[in-house]
Amino acid sequence: MAQKTPLSAVLPPLIFGTATFNHQYNKDPYALDTNGLVQTALEHGIRAFDTSPYYGPSESLLGAALATPYVRASFPREEYFILTKVGRVASEEFDYSPEWVRASIARSLQRLQTPYLDAVYCHDVEFVSEDEVLTAIRELRRIRDQDGTIRYVGISGYPLDVLCRLAERVKQETGEPLDVVQSYANFTLQNTTLATKGAQRLQSAGVDVVPNASMLGMGLLRHDGVPLGSLGDWHPANDELRAAVRKASDFCDQHDERLEVIAMRFAMESWVAAGAAVGSRGDPASGVPWKRESIDDVGGKKLGVSVMGVSTAAELQKTLMVWRSILDGLENGQQTADTAGRWKRAHEWSLNRKRAVQILAEGVQECLGEWFDYAWDSPGKGFVNQRGAKKASEKDKTLKGKEAEAEAPWLTPAASPELKPESAKTELPLR
């Protein structure tokens, strides 16, 4: 294997997650202004997008947004990262076989309209056996080395013990550690075990970068509760946890704050430091327009990587505002704020806000009581991978036929209602 630049030298510390471009989070993803969101994100300095073939039309919508004449002319492909996944076919179907991995990569390249993928994760590894994951990792690395259509390889999932064990096994059995392990909902206001139990172990297994996804616990940590898309209520949190979160949300209301606002800033700001050892030095999107940046512009230290999930321009802009304020609070944040043309007291304001959020975060964690640091089962009890059974009964079907079948439940653009103007959506005071 040729010597390569470590992912931690180039991956931006803030990634735009596009699981929201799907029916789980939204009633009709085709009704979202995905082109506008991606364009605005790029214009504000975002240089990395996370997606998956499992997220319904997300890959195709992201691919189309990155292929508009404006984006193509303004942002050369080498300037941004695309991270996608393989292996999760449907909610109860997983296929980590080399044939499926190859077909899935070919399909992702096509949908994303790109000659290469910056990183590919084995998606939700806890649903298959360790051996299946090892097989898929080997195939992804073969594609990386022989075809050159993949740059970095990793795994993603929820149970920390599974992620750590797999990272250790990959290093031990292949002699090459994973470039990247994406954990979700394990570093939030409700659960901080990625910092207390996971990060160190993953680092010892040689993992280069550990992005923290689902800062709101897949939308759980919100005043209005879990998201309801056209797939109904799929969120795995049980009733007691939801009740504890409501109590925490009431506590925030009493202090004239919104739970999601506190949750977002807490997760991004704390992970910047807690995840630094498994963080990255890529373009931080600090707010200097139209300029390629590096972490050297915001102090030079690696920053823990976060993956945000937004569906509207207002949420995107507010998340970015918070992110920039977090950067303003770093060691040489005053200089960052000055260069970006922000307020002369931005550094001081950031540090005050950080303190206020920390105090409220501790209050929220008191409200959560025994549910703080709780992790739900994944997979849920009684899970059976339907793929094996399906494959056996459909031996004669071509892969092409199976792909069409996997895509069948999603709405088509023709079935999509008209776009709603942005101003019609709820504005949230994200600070």
DSSP per-residue letters across 247-265: HHHHHHHHTT--HHHHHHH
Q: Which of 8, 311, 334, 385 binds ligand NAP (CB under 6 A)?
A: 311
For the CB of residue 59, give the shortest distance to ligand NAP in the complex, in Å.
11
Separation between Cα atoms, residue 399 and residue 403, nearest integer Å? 6
Binding status of residue 53 toward ligand NAP by CB under 6 A: no
For the CB of residue 263, give the shortest distance to ligand NAP in the complex, in Å.
8
Binding status of residue 60 toward ligand NAP by CB under 6 A: no
Binding status of residue 387 toward ligand NAP by CB under 6 A: no
For the CB of residue 271, give the shortest distance to ligand NAP in the complex, in Å.
13
For the CB of residue 18, give the shortest distance to ligand NAP in the complex, in Å.
6
Separation between Cα atoms, residue 52 and residue 195, nearest integer Å? 25
What 341-346 contacts at long range (C-beta under 8 Å, 24+ apart), as own/partner pairs, is: 341/287, 342/287
- Asked if 137 and 179 count as a contact pair (C-beta separation under 8 A), the reply is no
Separation between Cα atoms, residue 115 and residue 383, nearest integer Å? 36
For the CB of residue 221, give the shortest distance to ligand NAP in the complex, in Å.
7
Element spanning 117, H or E: strand 117-122
Separation between Cα atoms, residue 402 and residue 409, nearest integer Å? 13
Nearer CB in complex with ligand NAP: 181/334: 181
Q: Which of 10, 13, 14, 20 binds ligand NAP (CB under 6 A)?
A: 20
For residue 148, what are the CA distances in angstroms to 41, 96, 237, 367? Answer: 27, 20, 40, 50
Q: Which residues are catalytic?
A: 55
Name the segment binding ligand NAP (CB under 6 A); options: 169-177, 213-221, 342-350, 378-386: 213-221
Please count the residues of this chain forming the interface with ligand NAP, following the rule CB under 6 A: 32
For the CB of residue 141, give the shortest distance to ligand NAP in the complex, in Å.
19
Nearer CB in complex with ligand NAP: 25/100: 25
Binding status of residue 210 toward ligand NAP by CB under 6 A: no
Q: Which of 46, 199, 268, 310 binds ligand NAP (CB under 6 A)?
A: 310
Nearer CB in complex with ligand NAP: 62/334: 62
For the CB of residue 205, give the shortest distance to ligand NAP in the complex, in Å.
18
Let me know the angle formed at the C-alpha of 44 by 43 and 48, rounded to the nearest 5 degrees. 90
Nearer CB in complex with ligand NAP: 143/237: 237
Q: Which of 14, 25, 144, 257 binds ligand NAP (CB under 6 A)?
A: 25
Residue 157, amino acid: G
Element spanning 93, H or E: strand 93-94
Binding status of residue 315 toward ligand NAP by CB under 6 A: yes
Nearer CB in complex with ligand NAP: 60/156: 156
Closest Cα to residue 140, out of 102, 176, 186?
Answer: 102
- Asked if 367 and 237 count as a contact pair (C-beta separation under 8 A), the reply is no
Binding status of residue 118 toward ligand NAP by CB under 6 A: no
Nearer CB in complex with ligand NAP: 219/329: 219
Binding status of residue 306 toward ligand NAP by CB under 6 A: no
Separation between Cα atoms, residue 252 and residue 260, nearest integer Å? 9
Separation between Cα atoms, residue 169 and residue 129, nearest integer Å? 12
For the CB of residue 16, give the shortest distance to ligand NAP in the complex, in Å.
8
**Main-chain phi, psi angles of 416, to 5 degrees:** -85, 135
Closest Cα to residue 302, out of 209, 382, 370, 186?
Answer: 209
Binding status of residue 50 toward ligand NAP by CB under 6 A: yes
Binding status of residue 124 toward ligand NAP by CB under 6 A: yes
Q: Which of 86, 112, 216, 367 binds ligand NAP (CB under 6 A)?
A: 216
Rounded (10°) CA dihedral 92, 96, 101, 104: 0
Binding status of residue 241 toward ligand NAP by CB under 6 A: no
- β-pairing, 93-94 vs 88-90, is antiparallel
Binding status of residue 219 toward ligand NAP by CB under 6 A: yes
Nearer CB in complex with ligand NAP: 191/334: 191
User: What are the residues binding ligand NAP (CB under 6 A)?
Assistant: 17-20, 25-26, 50, 123-124, 156-157, 182, 184, 213-219, 222, 227, 260, 307, 309-312, 315, 318, 428, 430
